[in-house]
Amino acid sequence: MVSRCIVEDGFNGTDIWTVDLQFVAPGSNNFSLTPGSPAIDLGSNDVFANLTVSTRDIDGKPRLLDGDHDGQTAVDLGAPEFGRFAVWTQIQRTTGGPLELRALSSDAAGVVVQETSNFIDWADVGTMTQDGDTLTVTLPAADAFAGRFFRARLP
């Protein structure tokens, strides 16, 4: 029995959709999902008996992401999971100078960096800019970073 699939010309089964998946570049074999793809969070977590937060997709991204930002984590239809994330590669600060955070990613430009001292009240401190696969945000010079925590947040 076929279920939870998107098939161009339709098919008999349950939860079958006939819509454009909105791949990044299918002609170049890039079947990653674009923002707004109907396949985001449309899969069934029940299909994966051993699904955990450490389960990865074909690209190495976490399989359990909240791709549509509805507060629920669900797998996407297809091999690649939609979602942007960055791996911090460098945090650098010169004495009395700005704090520079660098990350490696190919699809996380526009990520907002926020700071807090209490994990409740978060304030934007900068937006990451992208140059190739390197993302950078430079925070103003200040000695008030002691006891501050940072996070990267999707816009």
3-state helix, strand, coil in the chain (%, to 5): 5, 35, 60
3-state secondary structure of 29: coil
* Burial (CB count <10 Å: 0-12, 13-18, 19+), residue 83: buried
Domain identity same for 74 and 92: no
Domain identity same for 91 and 135: yes
Q: Where does 58-114 have alpha helices with state H? A: none
Domain identity same for 148 and 97: yes
Strands 112-116 and 123-127: antiparallel
Domain identity same for 98 and 140: yes
Domain boundary among 41, 56, 83: 83
From first to last of its 155 residues, the chain has per-residue pLDDT tens of: 666 676 666 667 667 777 788 888 888 888 888 878 888 888 888 877 777 767 788 877 777 777 777 778 888 887 788 876 556 666 777 676 677 777 665 555 567 788 888 888 888 887 777 776 566 777 766 656 667 787 877 65
Domain identity same for 145 and 108: yes
Which of the 8 DSSP states describes residue 41?
Answer: T
What pLDDT, on a 0 to 100 scale, did the predictor assign at position 9? Answer: 66
Domain identity same for 75 and 2: yes
Q: Which residues constitute the domain of residue 148?
A: 87-153
Domain identity same for 119 and 56: no
Domain identity same for 99 and 67: no
How many other CB atoms are found less than 10 A from the CB of residue 76? 22
The tally of domains found in the chain comes to: 2
What pLDDT, on a 0 to 100 scale, did the predictor assign at position 131? Answer: 72
Which of the 8 DSSP states describes residue 27?
Answer: G
* Burial (CB count <10 Å: 0-12, 13-18, 19+), residue 100: middle
Question: For residue 38, which of 20, 54, 53 has the smallest C-alpha distance?
Answer: 20
Domain identity same for 36 and 5: yes
Domain identity same for 78 and 22: yes
Domain identity same for 94 and 24: no
